[in-house]
């Protein structure tokens, strides 16, 4: 049975619940994730989007990822918290930002991707598999 993942934005205007096993979870070190997060990487859990219930209004901003595919990042329009990601290369899947979980300690990354653009001061877990780009791009 899938465990319930719940979370929300900083101001509480947007809340979500997901009752689904993750498709995958990991840390993305691409330049887009660095810029959008203001940090070294973005930690995210990806689940089937039809298993996520969102309360509140979410504003999406679309850009091109390092892969050239579209990515739409979902934000709370009130406080600006980044909550979600929709990836063109993974239709039907929604990324949940690990830091927005009510229990962030439940985040268990399984890989580091786009390590080719990782910041030199980013100290990654040596036990996790590393991918210079997206795992699917490398076969």
Question: Tens of pLDDT along 54-90?
Answer: 999 999 999 987 678 899 999 999 999 999 999 998 9
Residues 13, 22 contacting (CB under 8 angstroms) = no
* Helix residue spans in 8-120 (DSSP H): 31-37
Distance, CA of 39 to CA of 25 (rounded, Å): 18
- CA-wise closest residue to 41 among 111, 105, 103, 93: 111
> Is pLDDT of 29 > 70?
yes
Residues 13/17/21/24 CA torsion (nearest 10 deg)? 0
pLDDT (tens digit per residue) in 106-136: 899 999 999 999 999 999 999 999 999 888 6
Rounded to an integer, what distance in angstroms lies between the CA atom of residue 5 and that of residue 113?
A: 23
* Rg, the chain, Cα only: 14
pLDDT for residue 97 is more than 80: yes
CATH number for the segment(s) 4-138: 3.90.1590.10
* Structure-block tokens of residue 30: 């691409």
Contact 95, 52 (CB under 8 A): no
d(CA 133, CA 131): 5
Whether the Cβ atoms of residue 97 and residue 83 lie closer than 8 Å to each other: yes
Confidence at 18, pLDDT banded by 50, 70, 90: very high
């Amino acid at each position: 049975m899938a465990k319930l993942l719940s979370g929300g934005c900083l101001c509480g205007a947007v809340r979500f619940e997901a009752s689904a096993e993750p498709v995958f979870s990991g840390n993305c070190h691409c330049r887009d994730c660095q810029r959008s997060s203001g940090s070294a990487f973005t930690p995210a859990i990806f689940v089937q989007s039809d298993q996520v219930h969102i309360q509140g209004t979410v504003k999406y901003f679309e850009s091109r990822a390092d892969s050239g595919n579209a990515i739409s990042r979902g934000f709370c329009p009130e406080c600006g918290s980044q909550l979600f990601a929709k990836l063109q290369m993974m239709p039907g899947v929604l990324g949940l930002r690990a830091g927005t979980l009510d229990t962030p300690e439940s985040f268990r990354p399984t890989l580091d991707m786009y390590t080719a653009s990782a910041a030199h001061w980013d100290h990654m877990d040596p036990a996790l598999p590393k991918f210079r780009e997206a795992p699917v791009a490398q076969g």
